[in-house]
Amino acid sequence: MRYLMMICATEDTVGSTSPDQATAMMAEYATFSEEMAARRVLQGGERLRPTSDATTVQVRDGKVLTADGPFAETKEQVGGYYVAECRDLDEAIDVASKIPGARFGSIEVRPIWEM
């Protein structure tokens, strides 16, 4: 099964990291990526720019409505994601628990609705 793993954290925490912490974090993600590459579970994943760079788009009555910012104001924002192919939810939980961001924020694991 495929799962989307959304890495969520408050952007304040992310924004207030020192350069050293940021470097350490990047190294942890590199290690994670290597380990997961060896297990061949990851199908993709990216880091996202913060919600201050987000734009919300809606179409109403045929008109495109554009607004600055995220669709919903929530405490935690999605800062990145992975798509992983796992045997079952137990394996997905194992993979999610190894994402470095799990120690600071949370990982939302969502099964992909295969069409």
Name which of 78, 112, 82, 87 is nearest 97 in CA terms.
82
From 17-25, 43-51, 57-65, 83-91, give the range in contact with other proteins by CB under 8 A. 83-91
Longest alpha-carbon distance in the chain: 49
For residue 115, state whether it binds other proteins (rule: CB under 8 A): no
From 7-15, 49-57, 58-66, 90-98, give the range in contact with other proteins by CB under 8 A. 90-98
Selected from 8, 9, 41, 86, the binder of other proteins by CB under 8 A is: 86
Selected from 5, 8, 92, 99, the binder of other proteins by CB under 8 A is: 92
Are 44 and 83 a contacting pair, CB within 8 Å?
yes
In three-state secondary structure terms, 87 is: coil
In three-state secondary structure terms, 92 is: helix
The minimum distance between CB 10 and other proteins, in angstroms, equals 24
From 22-30, 33-41, 64-72, 81-89, give the range in contact with other proteins by CB under 8 A. 81-89
| Distance in angstroms (rounded) separating the CA atoms of residues 83 and 8 | 15
